[in-house]
Structures are given as structure tokens and as C-alpha cells.
Structure 1
């Protein structure tokens, strides 16, 4: 099973920015954790990160024939990217929305997700474990 984990803007600064919210693990640390989890559970985990909305759309479209599902932490694009919402809505693959923090417990502008209505599920507030929970959801089917 091919699962693609996509991280949006500013997530390349994990471990350096707002460690009180996002933790001390870097994106490189997390990629290793996800790869290890994949090996143990017979999942082929592929990762991508971009600060550019169009690059994320291009990545999804270029991998859709190879993917069994996606885990997406869209970062700030969560709150306003109708292009990303339309992309997710237009593919026939499960997408799990993931957030390290709980957006609903933070600033009011983070309370709205334009992608939630078109994803299979949403996991948030469990720190970086949110990704592992999302990976585990693909093992349930």
C-alpha cells in the first residue's frame, strides 16, 4: 500500500519554530519515524513538503495513480485554499487531514478548515502522533 504524507507551509521548520506547540522533532526525524512505521506495517510511505500551494496540487495530481491514500497537513492552506479543497474533492483516494496541534483550541482564524468537508477523516491535537494515528487508519481497511 502506497501512502503519501504531504506537509504544507512552514512544516519544514518543525523542531525550530514554536516548539511549545509543534514539538522538538524535525521533519527529517518524522520522515524516519514514518518510514520505520511503514516497514513494520507493510506500508510504502512517501513524503513531500512544500511551502507552495501549486507544488502541493501538482504533487497530488502526479502521484494519484500510484497512491492508495494521502495524509495531509496543509498548514495554513487548511483555512483558505479552495484550490486544494477542489483537488482533494476531485481525486478518488482517501485523504486524512492531520494537524499536530488542535486548531480549534487556537486563534479563531484556525477554527475553519475548508478541506475538512472533502476528506475521509481528521486527526488533530495529538502532537506528531497524529501522523501515526493517520497511518494506522490505513491498516484498518
Structure 2
């Protein structure tokens, strides 16, 4: 099991919920969040973003969960998380991802797990951003 604390980007949570392959890295990460298999952090803003995205009508059609079921899923995710207050951070490559950069700034040992190519390529993060497959292989 990995001891490195991570932040799990919304795209990984969504992909984990939508995949039909339980052995895929994103499914394993979502399952790991739900079972507390690894240490992860989130902020109230990130949890709210998870919910905002998961309750979108187009996504609800794909994952088939009701709003009540989504809220139960998010309660389980929050239960196992370290909840942190964000810290001031340099601008993110995409302004919509600023909440992730601020959460990374809260603790220097955190890594961001994401499938977002723009974030993965950001040279200013110095190895703090990793792909789901790389993280899933570590736990």
C-alpha cells in the first residue's frame, strides 16, 4: 500500500465510476478511496466539485446513480479523507483547476493524481502530478 498522500482529481473519480473494468487504474483508485486503502486529501471545494460534476444530467445517465446515491458515495469518500484548507498558490495552467493547486500548496508532500494532460505537463509542479496508472501501481 502506498504511504504517499494524494489528491484525486475529479476526472479520476468520474472515470472510476464510469469504467466497466474493475481492474482499471481509475476503478482501483475510486475503490481505494471508498475503502481507505490509501491516504488522500481533499478540500470542501474539491468535494463540492466532485458533486457538481457527478450530478450533471448527462453523467447521471451514464453512471445510473441517483442524487441520493451520489451523496452517499461522496459521504464515504469524505469519511476516509484528510480534509485540508487550501493555501495560496501560483496560478494553475487552467483557472478551473486552481482549487487543486491551492490544495497542493496546503502540504508539500501531496501528489495530484489526474488524467488531465495539461496538468501532467506543467513543468512547475516538479513531479507532484502523476497519472492514475502510475499511482495505482504503487498500492
Normalization by structure 2: what TM-score?
0.43
User: Could you say which structure has the higher strand fraction?
Assistant: 1
* Higher normalized contact order (CA 8 Å, seq sep 6+, divided by chain length): 2
